[in-house]
Structure 1
Amino acid sequence: MRIWKTARQTALGMAVTLALTTGLSIPSGPPAAAAEDDLYEHLNLLMRVFQRVQSEYVDEVDDREVIEAAIQGMLRSLDPHSTYLNPDVYQQVRVQMEGEYGGLGIEVQMEDGLVKVVSPIDDTPAAEAGIEGGDLISHIDGQAVMGQTLTEAVKKMRGPVGSPINITVIREGESDPFDVEIVRDRILVRSVRHRVEAETIGYIRVTTFNMQSGEGVEQAVTALKEELGGRMDGVILDLRNNPGGLLDEAVRISDAFVERGEIVSTRGRRRQNNNRWFATEGDMLDGLPMVVLVNAYSASASEIVAGALQDQRRALVIGDQTFGKGTVQSEIRLGRAGDQAIRLTTARYYTPSGRSIQERGIEPDIEVLFPRDKARKARKPRREKDLQNSIDNDTQDVDRAGEVDAMSEEEIAHIEALIEAQNDSDTAPADIQLQYAIKLLKNISMLPIPQIAEARPE
């Protein structure tokens, strides 16, 4: 009886600690007595397992690492995006969100015990080494990733600038894993780039949503308007391979092009997670036609922007169905110094029309699948719905099908012929999606204003 009381007191202490650090409440009062006893019993079980590991495991263990692994396992059992950030990783995450960090230049997540590359960041060592979205990293400097947490794997991939790292890559379409040596570098995440296409089309690419992205898009629009003046026929916003980032930046970028109305809303279990964001007056492009390019690796904040511009009938979305990561992760600081945190899924995103992005993603108004070489032609990208413990979509399907008659049948057939030719070619494919968008904007610019409105999807 004394042993049980001690364990119960220990369990109570753990429960109180959890409540104080995470804001959870402990059941109290007679109606909750059974639930309270059950909670204590499971906390006691956790402590007994921990004590057995401490005393009887074949090798001496680091208590801190074991506890962190238990926390990580608890969060991982919820969904693919809830995670624990220890002080080292938390600092790295903050630096990355600010737009500067040291490493390889890849956005990653865990999948089936391996590190999955969501996408490489442009002009970084990983991109220059040929790392692709969808690649799986099985070994880092010869050490297996299996059994490690994402935190541990990321820490191994970070290192001094100029130091080499060898990663083993598993790529769909390749018969065997292969090694890639990459030299670490100081990663300055220049998240926005722009240029002029076909003399009259503005092109803006956003590679990630960090603290500089919103300002970067606004500066890009200003620069394009100064360069082209009244000759600009439209703007292409390229969000392909963009894994997402900060919600505030997604709202700011959407607001730059939307005159009025809702941009995005979030709904969660707690009232403070139910929010709506609305556009402020003003459209930097004054209604100039827009196209948004997306693919299977456009996720999270990218999907917020694409969904907002699509639902507000401000832009045509072209490409492939997006990844479908439609959940909000709140960063909850822990510890006395606030130097560690958990990233916990607390809400879902919804487009202005009330569509949940989760699992479904954003379906393009015009599907243009980027051609791949023959060995990868049948490859089906993995999306959010394929991940273990992914959260279900809680809304009914919304039919987004609509007619877009801004191009003649002959022109559409010509583009489709180019796609087929590239599908059957062994040479590096042209950017058919981009060419399709340019051709579309050129045609829309020649239509009278009423016809432009009719060309946009319902």
Structure 2
Amino acid sequence: MFKKRTVALIVLLAMLLSSVLTLTLTDQLSFAGSGPLRSGVFADIGSGSSKSDIQKIEKAIQLIKKNYLEDVDQSKLVDGAIDGMMNALGDPFSSYMGPDTAQQFSEQIEGSFTGIGAEVSMENGSVVVVSPIKGSPAEKAGIQPKDILLSVNGISFEGLSLNEAVSKIRGPKGTEAKVKVKRADTSAELEYTIVRDDIALETVYARMEEGNVGVIEITEFSLNTAERFKKELADLEAKGMKGLVIDVRNNPGGVLSIVIDMAQQFVPKGKGIVQVEDRNKQRSQTLSKGSGKGYPIAVVTNKGSASASEILAGALQESAGAKLIGEATYGKGTVQTSFSEEMGDGSLLKVTIAKWLTPNGEWIHKKGIQPDIKVSQPSYFTVAPINKETTFKYDMLGDDIKSAQVMLSSLGFAPGREDGYFDKGTENALKKFQTSVNMKATGVLEVETIKALESSLIEKIRDVKNDKQMNTAIEEIRKEIASPVSNK
């Protein structure tokens, strides 16, 4: 589930890098200029293999079912075999998804789902609300950030994975979800009866900054993103926008046709947007049918900008004269397609079928795209979270203490060092912080102080004036607006 980018404590970068969305083609979409995708993906199963290979798999299943100590669910064996095939490819972007995971993947691409409307995460084994989605049934019912979800309709979430818990929360539109909640800082358990509804996942956010600089943030390239982007762009232009900043930081990608549609609006007619190379080394190039824009454009990127985000950044940098500002992108230069109908049971096979290149023919895989203006965020943006199961105090040493020192320094409490040694300076800084948030000044770093420290840091990170990358991009656009050579 998505909302306006939440700088979820400090570990966001690592989380995003481990869960990058693939650049996806659905069965209904095709490569530019290459015709529709062939749907009979399993038609060639005999090509390059013998019947004995297939018989070997069947024999393994038979031997397991006949000889294993306990009864075996054959469907689990088949799923495991397919999963093993995908793992054998050595490609992190090709994978097999069971029916439940496949449904969530499809909903993410489609940009909507049916449920209560809350962004959740797993924290210390608990399902915790990051935020209710604006206007959702969860928000209207009174669900709040940091609420711990205990159960739904009597089904406990204890021991379940996040995906398993989410699958229990979701359900058909109009059905009731009786959600039991433990609210932060209270021991009481609350119960809400929430009627499930269709929830639209917002992927585009726009605002106007001083000097008529428009800012559009894109969190993902779902099927509804292009239309939402066109609307927000038109609204900004109608308000007199003179320059644009597009923010694709921590955007993990999405659908190929969507990003091409969006790039058309900025790349002049006849210039390249992207090239796609298939397994036979045959390339097809998508050229823009648009007319370009007369105002300066900047794209803000970071290490979490992947796949479709990189296509947009590369197209605008090479073909539309846009400046890239921030950090080098993730570096994912492959294209996947998903096969679900062929699987026949709601599961999904996602397979890498091509690689993509920038308009100038650069394959950015595992390299990323370099920014024109390199800007890093302050160190506290990426500081590691602190272990909440341990208490830290004077004369101890470790990485958790180093994280606390970085947090204290960023908040203005000056421990005097950031090397992980808990000295008297760190203890005094911690006491001052505890006093500032109305806690007992013990100078000991325990769970409640850790929570308060991290919460204070999140507020600082969320404050737009501390967003060095965005502020640099806005200032750069202002300079270009003021320059007589800025108009294209």
TM over 0.5, shorter chain = yes
Q: Which of these residues, 264, 275, 280, is aligned with residue 265 of structure 1?
A: 275
1:64-79 pair list within 5 angstroms: 64-78=75-89, 79=91
Deviation at 1:192, TM superposition (A): 1.1
Contact 2:268 2:319 in 1 (8 A): no
* Partner deviation per Cα, 1:159-199 (whole Å, 9 max, x = no partner): 68756699xxxxxxxxxxxxxxxx99864211111110124
- Once residues 331 and 376 of structure 1 are traced to their aligned partners in structure 2, the CA distance between those partners, rounded to angstroms, is 36
Q: Does residue 143 of structure 1 match 2:159?
A: yes
Deviation at 1:249, TM superposition (A): 0.7
* Partner deviation per Cα, 1:211-232 (whole Å, 9 max, x = no partner): 111111111111011112xxx3
Contact 2:295 2:487 in 1 (8 A): no
1:13-24 pair list within 5 angstroms: 22-24=42-44
Bigger RCO of structures 1 and 2 (CA < 8 A, at least 6 apart): 2
Contact 1:265 1:277 in 2 (8 A): yes
2:483 alignment counterpart? 447
Q: Which of these residues, 197, 214, 228, is aligned with residue 216 of structure 1?
A: 228
Contact 1:193 1:204 in 2 (8 A): yes
CA spacing shift, 1:23–1:422, aligned 2, 3 Å: farther
Deviation at 1:424, TM superposition (A): 4.4
User: Normalised by the size of structure 1, how large is the TM-score?
Assistant: 0.64
- Once residues 120 and 331 of structure 2 are traced to their aligned partners in structure 1, the CA distance between those partners, rounded to angstroms, is 16
Contact 2:169 2:177 in 1 (8 A): no
Q: Which of these residues, 15, 38, 57, is aligned with residue 68 of structure 2?
A: 57
- Once residues 235 and 381 of structure 2 are traced to their aligned partners in structure 1, the CA distance between those partners, rounded to angstroms, is 40
2:337 alignment counterpart? 330
Contact 1:97 1:210 in 2 (8 A): yes
Segment of structure 1 superposing worse, 246-255 or 206-215: 206-215
Deviation at 1:357, TM superposition (A): 2.4
- Once residues 122 and 325 of structure 1 are traced to their aligned partners in structure 2, the CA distance between those partners, rounded to angstroms, is 30
Unaligned segments of structure 1, at least 5 residues: 1-18, 28-34, 109-113, 132-139, 167-182, 379-419, 454-458
* Partner deviation per Cα, 1:356-409 (whole Å, 9 max, x = no partner): 12211222111111224288189xxxxxxxxxxxxxxxxxxxxxxxxxxxxxxx
| SS of residue matched to 1:347 | strand
For 2:294, the aligned partner's letter is G
For 1:436, the aligned partner's letter is T
Contact 1:162 1:185 in 2 (8 A): no
Contact 1:97 1:245 in 2 (8 A): yes
Contact 2:211 2:478 in 1 (8 A): no
Deviation at 1:433, TM superposition (A): 1.0
- Once residues 66 and 193 of structure 1 are traced to their aligned partners in structure 2, the CA distance between those partners, rounded to angstroms, is 44
Contact 1:157 1:165 in 2 (8 A): no
CA spacing shift, 1:209–1:292, aligned 2, 3 Å: same
* Partner deviation per Cα, 1:232-291 (whole Å, 9 max, x = no partner): 3310111111111110110011111111311011112147x74321111312xx320011
- Once residues 130 and 320 of structure 1 are traced to their aligned partners in structure 2, the CA distance between those partners, rounded to angstroms, is 31
| SS of residue matched to 1:46 | helix
1:13 alignment counterpart? none
- Once residues 163 and 191 of structure 1 are traced to their aligned partners in structure 2, the CA distance between those partners, rounded to angstroms, is 28
Contact 2:267 2:320 in 1 (8 A): no
Deviation at 1:329, TM superposition (A): 0.5
1:51-450 pair list within 5 angstroms: 51-78=62-89, 79-102=91-114, 129=145, 141-143=157-159, 155=167, 187-228=199-240, 232-260=241-269, 261-270=271-280, 274-283=283-292, 286-335=293-342, 339-373=346-380, 376=383, 424-425=410-411, 428-429=460-461, 430-449=466-485
Deviation at 1:57, TM superposition (A): 2.2
CA spacing shift, 1:156–1:55, aligned 2, 3 Å: farther
Deviation at 1:69, TM superposition (A): 1.6
- Once residues 364 and 335 of structure 2 are traced to their aligned partners in structure 1, the CA distance between those partners, rounded to angstroms, is 11
| SS of residue matched to 1:359 | coil
* Partner deviation per Cα, 1:26-64 (whole Å, 9 max, x = no partner): 24xxxxxxx75xx44443332232122212223212111
- Once residues 240 and 320 of structure 1 are traced to their aligned partners in structure 2, the CA distance between those partners, rounded to angstroms, is 9
| SS of residue matched to 2:59 | helix
- Once residues 349 and 294 of structure 1 are traced to their aligned partners in structure 2, the CA distance between those partners, rounded to angstroms, is 19
- Once residues 120 and 209 of structure 1 are traced to their aligned partners in structure 2, the CA distance between those partners, rounded to angstroms, is 21
Larger helix share, 1 or 2: 1
- Once residues 314 and 120 of structure 2 are traced to their aligned partners in structure 1, the CA distance between those partners, rounded to angstroms, is 22
| SS of residue matched to 1:443 | helix
- Once residues 122 and 310 of structure 1 are traced to their aligned partners in structure 2, the CA distance between those partners, rounded to angstroms, is 34
CA spacing shift, 1:25–1:212, aligned 2, 3 Å: same
**Length, aligned pairs only:** 344
| SS of residue matched to 2:239 | helix
- Once residues 163 and 277 of structure 1 are traced to their aligned partners in structure 2, the CA distance between those partners, rounded to angstroms, is 50
1:43 alignment counterpart? 54
For 2:159, the aligned partner's letter is Q
Contact 2:119 2:133 in 1 (8 A): no
CA-based RMSD: 4.1
For 2:264, the aligned partner's letter is D
